[in-house]
Chains A and B, each alone.
Chain A
Amino acid sequence: MSTRLPTFGNVGLAETLQNRRLLAGIVVFVVLALYPAMTLNAYHTRLLTWIMCFAIAAMGFNIVLGYTGLLSFGHAAFFGTGMYTVVLVMGRVGITDLVAVMVIAMVVSGLVGAIIGVLTVKTHEIYFALLTLALAQLLYILAVRDIGGLTRGTDGIGVTRPDFFGIPISELPAQIYLLGFYYHVVLVALAATIVLLWFVLRSPFGLTLKMIRENETRAEMTGVPVLRYRVYSMILSAMVVGLGGALYAVLIGHITPEYLDWTMSGEIVFMALLGGIGTFFGPVVGAGGFILLQELALSYTEYWHFTMGLVLFIVVLTLRENGIWGGAKTLVERLNDRRGEQ
């Protein structure tokens, strides 16, 4: 089975603009890019940055769950690895360039993904979930115990702002750094992740993952090295989730082992489920929905845990794997069908 990316013919600008999805994507990107300058609203900008970091993580997670059919409860390991790599690379190694730090965080997360993948991909369903959970908890414990004095235990460790290609941008005031620079970095990272995953998951590689998800035995019979592909999907997933964590580390400014804990894995699973694991954009919508719901519930009621639980329960029960995004797509399709009938 080849892992070549699909080749694309020369596509003209006019043709591109006729693709309504692509056009909508470009419009959304431009609107989001202009948002901080138009509104100068630091709170909303921060909230959007927060959502985008988790959208990247949830999309990364969905490679394993939505495309390969493996429910991992250990993705906090990759998210937290991305975060701690940023701190350690900046604080201990002295590399302060944002792009270099992000690339290193992705590589380290990918390595952790490879190790966890190799150790777990032979198992299925609940055993896979529990094994990934257990291995991730090992990292959590290492961080809590402050092994080697690297993590400063449960009190956590502060993150300084990185520079950008030698420009000492970190010296800007926090507000300007966020509004004028960092938000756009995360937006570009999200867009790049979406584009990359869009092509990768539609390539023979992505289709092979789907085949494994749908019928592992058949995939094996057709000569697909199933275990190897599962490890590949874990590595890719870990790298993307690690990128989300690394970007988030700079935004939050302080890292504690909580980001390696199973509750973080649970949140990422919930985001993917809420948005829809059976859809490409579901995790992005899920991350937004989850964080906005939490912020809204916190502002209006002290029973925010209950409110969130109830909403998530109803969404997951009624929309199942389609989630909010899949549900919305189905609704639009039905409306279009009705219009067509009329």
Chain B
Amino acid sequence: MRKSRLSRRTYLKGAAALSGVSMTAGCALLDEDLGQETIEGIPDEPFRIAQILFESGPAAFYGEQAMNATDMLVDQINAEGGLLGEREIEIVDRLDEGAGLDSLISDVQAIAQEGEVDMLFSIISSAHVLGVAPAANDQQMPFLVTMPGTYQLFEENPEMDHVVRTAGSNASGAIGAVRMVEQMDDIETVVTIDPDYAWGHDHQEMFETALENVRPDIDIVESRYPDLGETDYSAHVSAIASQEPDLLFSSLWGGDTATFVSQGVDGGLFDQVGEALLIGDTGAPLLRSLGGDMPENVWLGGRAGYQPTYRYDEDEDHQQFVDDYYDRYGEYPGWGAYHDWAGLKTLQEGVERAVSIIGDWPTGDQLMAAMNDISVEMPHGQHTMRGPQAAAPAVFGRPTEDHDFPVDHPLTTDFEFIAATEVNPPTGVPTMEWVEEIEPL
């Protein structure tokens, strides 16, 4: 496999330059969006956040990571005085996504009306965010979206000015996978397996369309769609194994990936496939739950590719985040935790930027405007917002037992980094249009 053409150094330089330009543009935007209301000085009361995530149902494991990370980071920020060192953060409410869209929208309205919350934060489900974000925007309730990946969020609702999303869209995972395959030799046949709902179908469609453009010599010989929460993958395992594909692509995530890989290993699936690219939630919790079952011919990663071992030694902030999380919870952070970390970093940076420009604490509108076109340092380098939407790179790694971390399950190593510019559409271009026109590197 060839290395990516762009070196990390080149990318970081480019990202720094881009963030400088976007900072200037953002300042102009902020000046325009200052609005009429003002808040004098820095308020004494805490900055109040209501967090939305799954506390019940199968996706609660993802919510738990996010909740853990938020609790830990809020404690750390408050220990240093809070935002700007002067205003503490308080998580005043948590809304359970398990209650469904009806309750979420109703609760958001109640929160907006009571005026006891300064910002909504997190959310996991793409279907939920497509309903809750416009509702929050209607109420002029600032909403920092941290986890869902649907590319439709801002493409369907381009007028939302009270919503920002610090997670990369699902394009970065799917196109990141295509960029990986583009560099692979000896791939002629591919089988895809994705969960049977919008997330899985979007990923498969983007992957297939882009792959046809960049590697027309590769055939997708079969596409499978198990139900979300499937417990028995034996039929899928047999069908894939019988195809003996050179590559297996999957956007299964959470418990589904663990169940599929585990049953695949038992059924000898990974002996029948050349390589596997797993781009769902493939963080440390997956590797912990699989334990020794993790096959070696697998690439784990996707949008932002959050892995505790990635640039652990080089990035002090990352090292501290991983160590603190491990010390507090006895396990390594998963993607949910990293997504909320990116969100809180963006909030800190946004507050700093807004206060530096206006001199006072920002109103909700001003804070949201300040978080547009901003960059924060994450383990993969500059995590850059293009307008209200983050453009995440793709990172993939190999599982390995050979590491120095105090856990007895595999972690990831041998990372491949694909720059955000190569896995996200240019600003203003609809994702699917861009995917259809994507060109080989």
Chain A residues with a Cβ under 8 A of chain B: 41-43, 46-47, 50, 144, 146, 152-156, 158, 173-175, 252-254, 256, 258, 294-295, 298, 302, 304-305
B126 contacts the other chain (CB 8 A): yes
Of B10-18, B134-142, B242-250, the stretch lying at the interface with chain A is B134-142
**A42 to B139 alpha-carbon distance, docked (Å):** 10
Quick one: which of B110, B114, B135 has the most chain A CB within 10 A? B110
List the A side residues contacting B201 at CB < 8 Å: 146, 153
- B212 touches A (CB below 8 Å): no
Q: Which of A43, A144, A252, A295 contacts B113 (CB 8 A)?
A: A43
Cβ-defined contact, A258 with B109, below 8 A: no
B106 x A47 contact (CB < 8 A): yes
Query: Which residue in A50, A254, A298, A305 is a CB contact (below 8 Å) of B131?
Result: A254
Contact A258 B138 (CB under 8 A): no
Q: Which residues does chain B contribute within 8 Å of A256, judged by CB atoms?
A: 101, 127, 131
A174 contact set on B, CB distance < 8 A = 138-139
Cβ of B6 within 8 Å of any chain A Cβ, yes or no, is no
CA gap between A35 and B112 in the complex, in Å:
19
A298 touches B96 (CB 8 A): yes
In the bound complex, residues from chain B placing their C-beta under 8 Å from that of A152 are: 152, 198
Min C-beta distance of B53 to chain A, whole Å: 12
Closest A residue to B131 by beta carbon equals A254
The 5 closest A-B pairs by CB, nearest first: A254-B131, A174-B138, A155-B198, A154-B197, A43-B110
21 residue pairs of the A-B complex, CB under 8 angstroms, read A42-B112, A46-B106, A47-B106, A50-B106, A144-B196, A154-B127, A154-B198, A155-B198, A155-B202, A158-B134, A158-B157, A173-B138, A175-B138, A175-B139, A253-B131, A258-B127, A298-B96, A298-B99, A298-B107, A305-B56, A305-B98
A153 and B110 CA atoms in complex are apart in Å by 29
* Closest-CB distance, A150 to chain B (whole angstroms): 14
Q: Please give, as numbers and ranges, the residues of chain B lying within 8 Å of A155 by CB-CB distance.
A: 126-127, 130, 150, 152, 197-199, 202
Chain A residues near B107 (CB-CB < 8 A): 298
* A contact residues around B139 at 8 Å (CB): 174-175
Assembled-state Cα–Cα distance A279/B100 (Å): 29
Contact B109–A156 (Cβ < 8 Å)? no
Q: Which residues of B contact A50 (CB under 8 A)?
A: 102, 106
Q: CB distance B126 to A42 under 8 Å? A: no
Give chain B's interface residues, CB within 8 Å of chain A: 55-56, 95-96, 98-103, 105-107, 109-110, 112-114, 126-127, 130-131, 134-135, 138-139, 150, 152, 156-157, 196-199, 201-202
Residue of A nearest to B95 (CB): A298
- Which among A153, A154, A155 has the greatest number of chain B C-beta atoms within 10 A? A155
Contacts A43-B113, A158-B156, A175-B139; is A295 near B106 (CB within 8 Å)? Answer: yes
Q: Known contacts being A41-B113, A43-B110, A144-B196, is A156 close to B99, with CB within 8 Å?
A: no
Chain B CB within 10 Å, residue with most, of A42, A252, A256: A256
Contact between chains at A42 and B109 (CB < 8 Å): yes
A275 CB, nearest partner CB in chain B, Å: 18
Question: B203 to chain A: closest CB distance in Å?
Answer: 12
Which residues on the A side are within 8 Å of B150 (C-beta)? 155
* A305–B99 alpha-carbon span in the complex (Å): 9
Whether A302 contacts B55 in the complex (CB less than 8 A), given A42-B113, A258-B100, comes out as yes
What's the nearest-Cβ distance from chain B to residue A48, in Å?
11
Question: Is the CB–CB distance between A298 and B103 below 8 Å?
Answer: yes
Give CA–CA (A294, B101) in the complex, Å.
Answer: 13
With contact pairs A152-B198, A156-B127, A174-B139 given, residues A43 and B106 touching in the complex (Cβ less than 8 Å): yes
Chain B residues contacting A295 (CB-CB under 8 Å) are 103, 106
- Of the listed residues A46, A154, A253, A294, the one surrounded by the most CB atoms of chain B closer than 10 A to its CB is A154
Contact of B99 among A47, A153, A254, A294 (CB under 8 A): A294
